[in-house]
């Protein structure tokens, strides 16, 4: 169990700033997932923590101690690489024992630790093989085993599953979750896959362009994204966004008008509205976000919301559910989730959709979310 603190860390390569001023504190036996689109600096951040890169400015602290100048091996970390990076000329046993040999462990100690790690990862029968004789999943296990044997304080994973095929990726994800529960150490995991982030993380840190966009538990990010980027990044299929104009500001409601003419009254208090400075004014264009599962097709519903009509433009059957894309007359598209029991849609079919007011996210013209307490209540159906 360790604490990691980044204090105003920046990193530039030549004139190009990759990490611009990050403050972050992680502690406990938690798994923190750094997630973001490629090039957002998440891998660089990981390399700064493990010591493969030095920060340009700022400090990296591990357990309260500044480790800026410490070499990786003295930081008590272990790292699993995307490409496994197994030593090709060594057997699995030697791969796992390499770090222990360097640190001067006794032979019996090494053998014991390697066998224990191999057992945890079900690779005991592979100890005499070379990496080239292993499958992708087995290589990944060995790479993890190489990290485990050292009993590190902190585990770092750099997109460990992105080289595996889809089925194996899910399997290894489950194993990582099991491992996480067994090892009880601090883990930092980098991925660009938001579903990996959602399933493995205790805390998700969403990054973009070298900055932290939002950090929090997976569900808080899902239900209360702080800005448009996080709202669009977390969740699959992605959240729908519609532009709307502020038409009326009432004591309990915000009335919005969409381009296509529909109006929507969103429950919000004065206090919540005034939390945003400067406060919204009439005529401003804001963005309404709605998750695919919060769009209903029961037009007769008495629930508050806006009714949109459009044509089905794409249908994806997943078996357990169906994703339907509907193009609105204005050109915008809405995607929604249909449960299995619903009547399947045909392409080109006219449908009417209810966007539920209680479940809408609203974002000001700068893309920052305006949080509403009424929405929270609606989040648990």
Partner 1 sequence: MARSSPLRRLGFGLFCSIIVVLCLFPFYWAMVSSLKSGTEIFATDLWPKALTFQNYGTILQDASFGRSFLNSTLVALSTVGMALLLSITASFALARIPFRGRKRILLAILSVTMFPQVAVLSGMFELVRFFGLYNHCSALILSYMTITVPFTAWTLTNFMREIPKELEEAAIIDGASYLTILVKIFLPILSPALVTTGLLAFIAAWNEFLFALTFTLTNQARTVPVAISLLSGASQHELPWGNIMAASVLVTLPLVVLVVIFQRRIISGLTVGAVKG
Shorter beta-carbon distance to partner 1: residue 71 or 348: 71
Cα-atom radius of gyration of the chain, to the nearest Å?
A: 25
* Least distance from partner 1 to the Cβ atom of residue 149, Å: 10
Phi-psi group of 46: left, alpha or beta (phi > 0 → left; psi -120 to 50 → alpha; rest → beta): alpha
Helices (H), 103-215: 107-120, 136-148, 166-183, 194-200
Size of the site for partner 1 (CB under 8 A): 25
Which 202-261 residues touch partner 1, going by CB under 8 A?
Answer: none
Q: DSSP string spanning 82-97?
A: TT----TTS-HHHHHH
- The residue among 101 and 119 lying less far from partner 1, judged by its C-beta, is 101
Q: Which is nearer to partner 1, 159 or 294 (CB)?
A: 159
CB 61 within 8 A of CB 48: no
β-pairing verdict for 186-191 and 31-35:
parallel
* Residue 4 sits in the site that holds partner 1 (CB under 8 A): no
The neighbour count for residue 340, using CB atoms within 10 Å, is: 11
CA distance linking residue 326 with residue 312, whole number of Å: 4
- Per CB under 8 A, the list member of 19, 78, 244, 286 interacting with partner 1 is 78
Site residues (CB under 8 A) for partner 1, limited to 141-180? 146, 150
Terminal Cα distance for the chain, rounded: 36
Instruction: Output 73 or 379, the one with its CB closest to partner 1.
Output: 73
Q: Which is nearer to partner 1, 86 or 127 (CB)?
A: 86
Q: Are 81 and 143 in contact (CB under 8 A)?
A: yes
Least distance between partner 1 and beta carbon 71 (Å): 8
Q: In the complex with partner 1, which residue's Cβ is closer, 52 or 358?
A: 52
Distance CA 128, CA 125 (A): 8
Interatomic CA distance for residues 255 and 362, integer angstroms: 12
Instruction: Compute the residue count for the chain.
Output: 381
Q: What are phi and psi of 233, to 5 degrees?
A: -85, -40
Identify the residue among 36, 41, 55, 131 touching partner 1 (CB under 8 A). 131
Nearest-approach distance from CB 165 to partner 1, in angstroms: 18
What CA–CA distance (Å, rounded) separates 287 from 368?
Answer: 10
Closer to partner 1 at the Cβ: 50 or 355?
A: 50
Q: Which of 21, 58, 72, 330 binds partner 1 (CB under 8 A)?
A: 72
CB 118 within 8 A of CB 131: no
Residue number, 131 or 218, with CB nearest to partner 1: 131
Rank residues 40 and 50 by Cβ distance to partner 1 and give the closer one: 50
Query: In the bound complex, what is the minimum distance in angstroms from residue 72's beta carbon to partner 1?
Result: 5
Q: How far is the CB of 191 from partner 1 (least distance, A)?
A: 17
Confirm or reject binding of residue 71 to partner 1 (CB under 8 A): yes
Residues 80-119, mask of contacts with partner 1 (x by CB under 8 A): -xxxxxxxxxx-------xx--xx----------------
52: CB partners within 8 A, 6+ apart: 72
- The sign of the dihedral angle between the CA atoms of 68, 25, 370, 302 is positive
Q: Which C-beta is closer to partner 1: that of 86 or that of 231?
A: 86
Cross-strand partners of 212: 207
Pattern 38-57, binding to partner 1, x per CB under 8 A? ------------x-x-----
Q: Are the C-beta atoms of residues 188 and 155 closer than 8 Å to each other? A: yes
Closest CB 92 distance from partner 1, rounded Å: 13
In the list 66, 73, 219, 275, the residue contacting partner 1 (rule: CB under 8 A) is: 73
Minimum CB separation of residue 318 from partner 1 in Å reads 35
Least distance in Å: CB of 141 to partner 1? 14
Residues lying near partner 1 in the complex (CB under 8 A): 50, 52, 71-73, 77-79, 81-90, 98-99, 102-103, 131, 146, 150
């Amino acid at each position: 169990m360790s604490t990691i603190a980044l204090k105003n860390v920046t990193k530039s390569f030549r004139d190009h700033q990759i990490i611009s001023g990050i403050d972050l504190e992680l502690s406990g036996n938690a798994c923190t997932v750094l997630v973001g689109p490629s090039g957002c600096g998440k891998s660089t951040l990981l390399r700064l923590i493990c010591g493969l890169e030095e920060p340009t400015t700022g400090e990296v602290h591990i357990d309260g101690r500044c480790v800026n100048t410490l070499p990786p091996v003295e930081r008590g970390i272990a790292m699993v690489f995307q490409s496994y990076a197994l030593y090709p000329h060594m057997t699995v046993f030697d791969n796992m024992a390499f770090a222990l040999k360097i640190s001067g462990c006794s032979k019996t100690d090494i053998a014991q630790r390697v066998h224990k790690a191999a057992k945890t990862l079900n690779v005991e029968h592979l100890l005499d093989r070379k990496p080239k004789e292993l499958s992708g999943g087995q290589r990944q296990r060995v790479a993890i085993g190489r990290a485990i044997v050292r009993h590190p304080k902190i585990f770092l994973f750099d997109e460990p599953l992105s080289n595996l095929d889809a089925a194996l990726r899910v399997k290894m994800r489950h194993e990582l979750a099991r491992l996480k529960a067994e090892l009880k150490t601090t883990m930092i995991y980098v991925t660009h896959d938001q579903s990996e982030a959602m399933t493995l993380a205790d805390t998700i840190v969403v990054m973009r362009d070298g900055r932290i966009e939002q950090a929090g538990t997976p569900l808080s990010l899902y239900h209360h994204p702080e800005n448009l980027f996080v709202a669009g990044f977390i969740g699959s299929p992605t959240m729908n966004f519609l532009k709307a104009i502020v038409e009326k500001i009432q004591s309990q409601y915000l009335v919005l008008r969409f381009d296509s003419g529909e109006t929507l009254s969103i429950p919000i208090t004065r206090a919540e509205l005034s939390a945003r400075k400067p406060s919204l004014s009439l005529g401003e264009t804001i963005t309404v976000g709605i998750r695919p599962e919060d769009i209903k097709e029961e037009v007769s519903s008495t629930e508050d919301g806006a009714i949109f009509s459009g044509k089905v433009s794409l249908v994806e059957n997943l078996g357990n559910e169906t994703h339907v894309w509907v193009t609105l007359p204005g050109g915008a598209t809405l995607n929604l989730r249909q449960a299995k029991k619903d009547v399947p849609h045909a392409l080109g079919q006219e449908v009417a959709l209810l966007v539920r007011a209680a479940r809408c996210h609203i974002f000001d013209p700068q893309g920052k979310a305006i949080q509403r307490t009424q929405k929270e209540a609606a989040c648990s159906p």
